[in-house]
Structure 1
Amino acid sequence: MGVGKIYKLLISDRDKQEVLGIQWFISKYSLPISTIRTAYHLSDLLDDLENSVPDIVCIELDMIGEDKWEIFKFHINRYTKQVIALTAEPTFERAMQAMDLQALDLWVKPLAPPSVKHSLQQAIRNLSNYSKEVHSELTKPSVDYESLFIEDRNPYPYPVYLLKTEYVNDLTYLRKFIEQFDFYFEPSVFSTSDRIVLVFHHEFTETVTQAQRFLREWELKAGSPLAIVVHSQSGEESLHQIYLKLRKVMETTFFTGYQQVFETKRFHTWKDMDPFLTMEDQRKWVYMLEEARGNDIKKWMYEEFFDLAPPYPEPGLLRTRLTSILAQIRRFMNRNGMNSKDREEYYKNVFDKILYSPVLYRIVQDIILFSNYLVQSMEEQPSQVKGDAVEAAVSYMEKNFTDSKLDLKTVAAYVGRSPSYLSHLLSNKYNRSFRDLLLSMRIQKAKELLSSDESVQNIARSIGFNNPNYFSRVFKEYTGQTPREYRRFH
């Protein structure tokens, strides 16, 4: 076979006849195997693995109890390079176990000589190639932390993974999990404060498949959110450039959530956007909040943020847009005196979520819940007014315009609206400001009173003007005549 090295083999099977049969096959085909050890019990198998460190292991899966599987797999991963599985039960479960061991083949009893020969020859070829790879390690680019963070311009040709848990506290367990996971080839592991980089030193094709298997096993054992970004294409990029790209792709989790494997080659550049609300959007938010339109707020947020598709906007810009929305909510709170300690703490919590929460849909839900909490608080406040707020405001003004202290704030408080929002409603309906409406009511009453013999000074005071001269100026502004001229000609 053109192979100069001689290899060690360990056969573990409860059936001694099967063991003798495999030994006979090896002697018949003159395979380059110098040492053949045998084990008939699991304890002997584990001891032999640790002490003799065989190159190839033929193992009967049926002898491994379910409670011993993890310790057995640990020894296999640590002490041998090529595994061939045997079974008398050709079931799906046994096939999955063989795959879990990354076994070269699964022999089904009774054994067929051609299958035995083919698998052993393939194992030896794999070992020979592995030896060549190890021998060539000196020619491979060196990798350290500086390679990630400092540009060196040297292309890195092998796969790189970036792993990030949604919750930073899970990183410690993730590091331990990486130590126990059976990678196709062992990577170099680099940890930062909130993520882990796996740098491989060999080329292999199933980079995404391995990442998906890692994610499945992590989910079964840890159950906490994890995302993996895979860079597999060879090119002219340095490890530093690859790392920057991996980090940018990892930001996609902001839109899609975790429990996914991403590939750098499928990444779209960020889409530009204006992060601030338009004037129309601001008016819409004022209306929805003041009118307690909780369902409209929910619909607006869903349409704005849940229909996003690649290419996504840059996450930082989107967080700015979310703070712009929260600014409208803050103004609503200030207008309506909603500044209790509990509400302020709630507001700060939502603001922190916008800045730091790793997933968009959770921020959106928090804003919706906070908005609904505020509008519900408004609805629960005792109100003296039922029905249309604008009509109620005008009616209140008509009854109280003679009060010189009547102002927008007083009327707004009566109808349960903020002063600025009531002013907005009055302008929309009457195309006039609060001041114009109030003065026109007073001037209309003044016209009626000027038909009497009452002095101008007394009329001014009776309709809410403390200063008769100011009353005269306003009267002429609205009628084109002074009060005395009006009395003379009417």
Structure 2
Amino acid sequence: MKIVIAERDDHERVAIEWLISTYSIPINHVFAAKTVKETLAAVEKELPEILYLELDMIPAENWPLMTRHIKSFSPKVIAVTAEATFERAKQAIELGSVDLLDKPLDPVKIKDCLRVASSLVSRREQLNDLDSHKDEGFSYRSLFLEQELNIGKLTLMILHAENNKKYPDLLEFLKAYPFREHPTILPLTDMVVCLFKKTQNIRKETVKFLREWEAAHIEPLAAVIIPPNQEMKTVHEMYRGARRLLEVTFFIGYRQVILPKEGYECWNEIDPFLTSAEQRDWVEMLNSFDKQKIKNWMHQEFFHMDTPFPNPEKLRTRLTSILAQVRRFMKTYQLDNGEMEEYYMKIFSEILYNRVLYRIVQEMLLFLYELLDRARIGDVFSKKDVIERGLMYIEKHYANPDLTLEDVADAVGRSTAYYSHLLMKRQGISFRQHLANKRINEAKQLLHAGQLSIKEIAYQVGFRNPSYFTRLFKEMTNMAPREYKLNVQQEME
């Protein structure tokens, strides 16, 4: 077995080679690459079964070329990055990576990934004996090459377990199952394809098969059936159509038989990112600890979809866009560490890899409820601190003529409306009144000192217009600044 290690850091390449030799991972040949060009050349020349790929080394303009190359030569990819962003996770998914590892790397995780990748390679080699079913009339060539014609009497079925760990059990159960006509069985890496020459009652048989499977194994299973048709000219077309249909399990779940249906044949392309209004809604819902409103929003957004369904990858992006708002909330309440940080990363992984939208949303809601409970407990003790931190920010920045309530709210990690409400509730005055009081009191101190002109004092305490400063000063003290200064001087005499 061969591996290409595409990594710019010499030390990390050496460390990986050491892991391979130390833990007896069945890799016999190791090749190194430091650049995109070297990586492309090594993959093409050596045909490695595994590619360890540092995503950060690939410029955006080289990404399409890299993906085409990897898909052409089909190595198992272990993706690595120093930037744990959604963009990197999306790239890893696009490459069909075994896993995405974050730097600094954990040797145990690298070892586990290498073992999983080598295991997948071994399984693929065992299964892809292209001539193993010649006597039955079909082979893997039928699935992957446009050479086996569909004469309109063939039914193709895909069986897929939601939990990949049940794959060996599924294969064993399938081989022993008493179909009326035993199909040609073509096991793949994570699913099984069945080809039936006779087509009567296959849907009923499949329903019964799913029922008996679940009675024995509990784990959800989905079956996709492409019935005989004249539109798909080859077995390969039927296989591709079935794989495409399997993707709707993201929306409708497992435990069912899926047949071609209008609305299933294409995706509805959507803008995956939250609008400005939606971002404000999420800030408000989180800051008000409104669990019911969050639940209603999530259910309305993700559980009431008509066909054609949105592109699943775009929907995953939308879920991470929500998670970005949640991340800011966590930072505000200093919950971006420890248990909640681990929980957050678990939800991020659920969004990227869970096969069913319903489960992602439910897991995400449970996480949000726990987060809101912890934040509310912290909020009881921190509300006073929030107000005090805001007042300290005003003390420090009152001389800035551009200072706004939004600046203060941002500084303490609260929404503008929420901080304004807290300030009014605790201090009894608005932000504008408090800022005016602060500036006028500072002006009084400078007038006492008697060293600056009225105009200079106005500028120094945050007023752009000395006339407005004079008018406000008089409203608040019942005398003009010049009159106030004379009174102070007379008192001192």
- Answer yes or no: is the 8 Å Cα contact 1:156–1:239 preserved in 2: no
* Maintained 8 Å contact 1:271/1:313: yes
* TM-fit CA distance, 1:204: 2.2
State the distance in 2 between where 1:228 and 1:295 align: 36
Q: Partner residue of 2:86?
A: none
> Is 1:374 matched up with 2:371?
yes
Q: Give the aligned partner of residue 152 of structure 1.
A: 147
Structure-1 residue corresponding to 2:181: 185
Instruction: Give unpaired runs (5+ residues) of structure 1.
Output: 1-136, 461-466
Q: AA paired with 2:338? A: K
Q: Does 1:255 align with 2:251?
A: yes
Q: CA deviation at 1:441?
A: 2.6
1: CA distance, partners of 2:317 / 2:171: 34
Match of 2:412 in 1: 419
CA separation in 2, counterparts of 1:235 and 1:402? 75
When residues 186 and 401 of structure 1 are mapped into structure 2, their CA distance, relative to the original with a 3 A threshold, is: closer
Aligned equivalent of 2:333: 336
Query: 2:461 aligns to what SS in structure 1?
Result: helix
Structure 2 CA distance, aligned partners of 1:185 and 1:292?
58
Residue by residue over 1:301-338, the C-alpha shift from the partner in whole angstroms, topping out at 9 and shown as x without a partner, is: 11111222332212111111111111111111123322
How far did residue 265 of structure 1 move?
A: 4.5
Counterpart of 2:193 in structure 1 is: 197
Q: 1:456–1:483: 8 Å Cα contact kept in structure 2?
A: no
Out of 222, 225, 232, which is 1:230 matched to? 225
Amino acid at match of 1:207: I
- Note the alpha carbon deviations across 1:130-155, whole angstroms, 9 max, x for none: xxxxxxx99x9942213212333733
Give yes or no for the alignment of 1:161 onto 2:157.
yes
Find the partner of 2:277 among 277, 280, 285: 280
Alignment of 1:63-462 (within 5 A): 142-152=137-147, 154-155=149-150, 157=152, 158-200=154-196, 202-237=197-232, 238-265=234-261, 268=264, 269-381=266-378, 383=380, 393=387, 397=391, 403-404=395-396, 419-423=412-416, 425=418, 439-445=435-441, 449=444, 454-456=448-450
User: 1:347: Cα distance to partner?
Assistant: 0.6
Which string of whole-angstrom CA distances, capped at 9 and with x for unpartnered residues, describes residues 66-107 of structure 1? xxxxxxxxxxxxxxxxxxxxxxxxxxxxxxxxxxxxxxxxxx
What residue identity is the alignment partner of 1:308?
A: M
Distance 1:356 1:407 in 2: 51
Instruction: For 1:187, give the aligned amino acid.
Output: P
Give yes or no for contact 1:475–1:483 (8 Å, CA) kept in 2.
no
Matching residue's letter, 1:154: L
TM-superposition CA deviations, 1:166-220 (whole Å, max 9, x none): 11111111111111112222211111121110012x2323221121121122122
SS of the aligned residue for 2:171 comes to: helix
Give the conservation status (yes or no) of the 8 Å contact 2:389–2:412: no
Distance in structure 2 (CA, Å) of the matches to 1:148 and 1:335: 53
- In 2, Cα distance between equivalents of 1:205 and 1:472: 85
Output the CA distance in 2 between the equivalents of 1:189 and 1:235: 23
The one-letter code matched in structure 2 to 1:160 is L
Cα distance, 1:242 vs structure 2: 1.1
Which amino acid in the other structure matches residue 443 of structure 1?
R
Instruction: Provide the secondary structure at the position in 1 that maps to 2:279.
Output: helix
- Equivalent pair of 2:186/2:192 in contact (CA under 8 Å): yes
Structure with the greater alpha carbon radius of gyration: 1
Alpha-carbon contact 2:161-2:221 (below 8 Å) kept: yes
Q: Report the secondary structure of 1:381's partner residue.
A: helix
Q: How is 1:12-27 mapped onto 2 (pairs within 5 angstroms)?
A: none
The two structures have a TM-score, normalised by structure 1, of 0.58
* C-alpha distance in structure 2 between counterparts of 1:266 and 1:222, whole Å: 32
Q: Given the superposition, is the C-alpha separation of residues 444 and 306 from structure 1 closer, same or farther in structure 2, using an over 3 Å criterion?
A: same
* Pairwise CA distance, 1:298: 1.1
User: d(CA) in 2 for partners of 1:191 and 1:446?
Assistant: 80
Structure-2 change in CA distance of 1:382 and 1:482 (3 Å) = closer
Q: What residue number does 1:471 align with?
A: 461
2 CA distance for matches of 1:152 and 1:480?
A: 90
Change (3 A) 1:456 1:316: farther
Q: CA deviation at 1:384?
A: 5.3
Deviation of 1:454 after TM superposition, in Å, equals 1.5
Letter in 2 for 1:229: V
- Matching residue's letter, 2:461: F
Which amino acid in the other structure matches residue 439 of structure 2?
A: I
Q: Distance in 1 between matches of 2:259 and 2:321?
A: 32
Retained in 1: the 8 A contact 2:167–2:191?
A: yes
1-side partners of 2:409 and 2:421: how far apart? 18
Change (3 A) 1:439 1:271: same
In structure 1, what residue type is equivalent to 2:469? T
AA aligned to 1:182 is P
Residues in 2 aligned to 1:260 and 1:482: alpha-carbon distance in whole angstroms: 73
What's the secondary structure of 1:198's corresponding residue?
A: strand
Query: How far apart, in 2, do the equivalents of 1:456 and 1:474 lie?
Result: 20
Identity %: 30
Contact 1:155–1:239 (CA<8 Å) still a contact in 2? yes
1:331 aligned partner, one-letter code: R
Distance 1:396 1:267 in 2: 53
Aligned-partner Cα distance in 2 for 1:147–1:250:
19
What is the identity, as a one-letter code, of the residue corresponding to 1:243?
A: Y
Q: Which moved more, 1:360-369 or 1:263-272?
A: 263-272
Q: Which residue of 1 aligns with 2:74?
A: none
